[in-house]
């Protein structure tokens, strides 16, 4: 129990750092079990992994606040943020060499994600955190460790986990908010919408490096034509712009807020915390941002719907390259998104390859069809919706060609959206230099691909997959660059993808499952057994936040040694 731990810590004072290893185990404190799952090997190594395990009765959080998955996620998120805040308030700080003495918990951003940081399950509440075991040089600071574990930690736990000490109103509101957001997302389907943007939403962010809302931003206001009202489970009614399924074009002068609107729609696949400004910007949860990503690796992807008749007769039904061009990378991104499933594509001119997006009437006259391998997106976007049920919301500010195919045209005018559909359609009718449909075949859809086990054999069984920040993952010596995945929002999602890749290659891949099916297996497992279940650690599973299937598959697709059957 705790008395022994205290004694041991005092007696360790001044000993060599490795003695800390012997602390691994569980200790009974007054209100909780304190578990030391993993001890770092030196003060500079990643901090030691620990947990506090508390009886639900002692914690006191009412069952009705956690009796559905969505509620459970909302409460876990709330407790994680609380714990984080209490660490800051407690004055906990470095007390020696390296990360000595510091307590850490996974840091939440503006989104509310399913995480491993707090687990509420059965009659237990578990907090997973880390601690830098304190040292001076390589000598144990036993008294400092005692102080952190016996004074700081209990106070942090007391203030951040015990229901009676929580801001109950805020907790309750967060649960209600998540339920309302989930409901709104379900309503999209019923109302035939691709996305919804509530009036008074704040779209722009503080800066390129801060995801907090911009102060004094122009608040969102729906054009009358698209305004709808949603009645939410909380009783609240919210009005805003419902973007119908189909093809929606966003136009407007430079700097009028087009990209900001699209970026908000991209993030609308996630739920957001109160005061974020995007609480009720809601998109289909499988919406995928599509961009050009030149230089990426492509492995046997069927991009023939967009690119055909390449020089030297390269087959584009199973197209491979180690260095994709702007247009081929964008074509591959679309094809792959269709493979693992999406109902909404989001495209911004700022990050698109022009030759993938458009080819105007004049260019069609100059370069004959037979000499142009690209069927631009404009000639497929309607088929994608009509035959495959995939909507597109896209920004094209520099060409009116999309007027012909768009169902709706929204103009951003000084950050305010206006409906200009009628006007755009009239202009399109008058046009003399009309372009022609440039494809003589129908869009055939995509090909499901089966990843091979040998893709991962290179580095042997012992090689771990490891996240490096938000945008890269190391598999053995192979770096997977995922900086093109704009809908990835959290380092812990990247961590989770790394863990999922390990699970994928060791337990799921079988030469029969397609990438999409294999991914589904992993998500089914997580759904049934929880996010912990894919981690290879016992106790503290690491800081994981659930990514979407889209980002997981996209990461596998960017692995340069991926081999397809």
Question: CB-wise, 413 or 463, nearer to ligand ADP?
Answer: 413
Applying CB under 6 A, among 41, 46, 167, 255 the residue interacting with ligand ADP is 255
Q: Does 217 bind ligand ADP (CB under 6 A)?
A: yes
Q: Does 259 bind ligand ADP (CB under 6 A)?
A: yes
Question: CB-wise, 195 or 351, nearer to Mg ion?
Answer: 351
Distance CA 233, CA 73 (A): 18
Backbone phi, psi, residue 394, to 5°? -140, 150
DSSP 504: I
Token pair belonging to 456: 């991962």
Provide DSSP, 324-378. Answer: --HHHHHHHHHHHHHHH--SEEEEEGGGS-HHHH---HHHHHHS-GGG--B--GG
254 is in the binding site of which of Mg ion, ligand ADP, none (Cβ under 5 to 8 A by kind)? ligand ADP
Please state the closest distance from residue 16 (CB atom) to ligand ADP, in A: 53
Q: Does 259 bind Mg ion (CB under 5 A)?
A: yes
Q: Does 542 bind ligand ADP (CB under 6 A)?
A: no
Residue 26 DSSP SS3: strand
Question: CB-wise, 268 or 541, nearer to Mg ion?
Answer: 268
Among the residue ranges 41-49, 150-158, 201-209, 343-351, the one whose residues contact Mg ion (CB under 5 A): 343-351
Which 146-205 residues touch ligand ADP, going by CB under 6 A? 203-204
356 is in the binding site of which of Mg ion, ligand ADP, none (Cβ under 5 to 8 A by kind)? none
DSSP 438: -
Residue 226 DSSP SS3: helix
Please state the closest distance from residue 396 (CB atom) to Mg ion, in A: 11
Distance CA 268, CA 187 (A): 14
Please state the closest distance from residue 263 (CB atom) to ligand ADP, in A: 7
Q: Does 350 bind Mg ion (CB under 5 A)?
A: yes
Q: Does 58 bind ligand ADP (CB under 6 A)?
A: no
Distance CA 85, CA 74 (A): 17
Applying CB under 6 A, among 49, 221, 258, 540 the residue interacting with ligand ADP is 258
Question: CB-wise, 258 or 435, nearer to ligand ADP?
Answer: 258
| Residue closest to 300 by CA, chosen among 512, 449, 456, 478 | 449
Token pair belonging to 509: 């891949």
Contact call for residues 50 and 34 (beta carbons, < 8 A):
yes
Which 8-47 residues touch ligand ADP, going by CB under 6 A? none
Q: Does 253 bind Mg ion (CB under 5 A)?
A: no
User: Hey, what's the torsion of the CAs at 108, 110, 112, 113, to 10 degrees?
Assistant: -60
Contact call for residues 391 and 192 (beta carbons, < 8 A):
no
Q: Does 352 bind Mg ion (CB under 5 A)?
A: no
Instruction: Name the residue whose CB lies closest to Mg ion.
Output: 259
Contact call for residues 562 and 297 (beta carbons, < 8 A):
yes
Provide DSSP, 284-303. Answer: -TT-EEE---TT--EEEE--
Which residues in this chain contact ligand ADP in the complex, by CB under 6 A? 203-204, 214, 217-218, 252, 254-260, 412, 415
Which residues in this chain contact Mg ion in the complex, by CB under 5 A? 258-259, 350
């Amino acid at each position: 129990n705790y008395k022994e731990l205290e004694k041991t810590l005092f007696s360790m004072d001044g000993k060599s750092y490795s003695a800390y290893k012997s602390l691994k185990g569980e200790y009974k404190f007054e209100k909780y079990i304190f578990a030391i799952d993993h001890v770092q090997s030196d003060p500079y190594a990643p901090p030691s992994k620990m947990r506090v395990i508390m009886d639900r009765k002692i914690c006191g959080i009412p069952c009705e606040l956690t009796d559905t998955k969505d509620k459970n996620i909302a409460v876990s998120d709330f407790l994680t943020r609380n714990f984080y805040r209490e660490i800051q308030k407690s004055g906990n700080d470095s007390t020696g060499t390296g990360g000595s003495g510091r307590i850490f918990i996974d840091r939440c951003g503006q989104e509310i994600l399913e995480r491993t940081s707090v687990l509420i399950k059965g009659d237990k509440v578990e907090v997973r955190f880390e601690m830098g075991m304190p040292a001076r040089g390589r000598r144990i600071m036993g008294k400092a460790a005692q102080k952190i574990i016996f004074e700081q930690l209990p106070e942090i736990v007391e203030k951040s986990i015990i229901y009676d000490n929580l801001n109950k109103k805020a907790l309750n509101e967060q649960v209600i908010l998540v339920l309302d957001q989930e409901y709104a997302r379900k309503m999209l389907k019923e109302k035939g919408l691709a996305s919804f943007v509530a009036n008074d939403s704040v779209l722009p962010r503080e800066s390129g490096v801060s995801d907090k809302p911009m102060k004094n931003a122009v608040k969102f206001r729906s054009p009358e034509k698209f305004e709808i009202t949603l009645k939410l489970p909380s009783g609240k009614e919210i009005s805003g712009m419902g973007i119908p399924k189909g093809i929606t074009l966003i136009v407007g002068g430079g700097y009028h807020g087009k990209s900001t609107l699209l970026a908000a729609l991209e993030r609308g696949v996630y739920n957001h915390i109160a005061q974020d400004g995007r609480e009720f910007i809601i998109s289909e949860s499988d919406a995928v941002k599509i961009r050009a990503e030149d230089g990426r690796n492509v492995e046997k992807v069927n991009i023939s719907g967009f690119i055909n008749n390449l020089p030297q007769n390269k087959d584009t039904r199973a197209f491979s390259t180690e260095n994709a061009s702007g247009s081929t990378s964008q074509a591959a991104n679309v094809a792959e998104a269709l493979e693992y499933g999406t109902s909404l594509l989001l495209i911004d001119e700022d990050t698109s390859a022009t030759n993938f997006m458009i080819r105007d009437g004049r260019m069609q006259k100059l370069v004959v069809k037979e000499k142009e391998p690209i069927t631009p997106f404009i000639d497929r976007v309607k088929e994608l919706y009509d035959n495959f049920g995939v909507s597109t919301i896209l920004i094209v500010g520099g060409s009116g060609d999309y007027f012909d195919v768009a169902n709706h045209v929204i103009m951003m005018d000084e950050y305010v959206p206006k409906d200009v559909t009628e006007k755009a359609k009239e202009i399109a009718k008058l046009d003399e230099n009309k372009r022609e449909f440039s494809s003589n075949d129908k869009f055939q859809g995509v090909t499901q691909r089966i990843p091979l086990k040998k893709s991962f054999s290179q580095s042997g069984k012992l090689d771990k997959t490891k996240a490096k920040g938000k945008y890269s993952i190391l598999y053995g010596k192979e770096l997977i660059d995922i900086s093109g995945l704009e809908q990835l929002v959290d380092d812990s999602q990247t961590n989770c993808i790394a863990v999922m890749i390990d699970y994928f290659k060791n337990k799921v891949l079988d030469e029969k499952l397609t990438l999409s099916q294999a991914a589904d297996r992993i998500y089914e497992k997580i759904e049934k057994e929880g996010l912990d279940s894919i981690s290879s650690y016992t106790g503290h599973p690491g800081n994981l936040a659930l990514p979407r299937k889209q980002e997981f598959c996209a990461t596998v697709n960017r692995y340069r040694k991926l081999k397809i059957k």
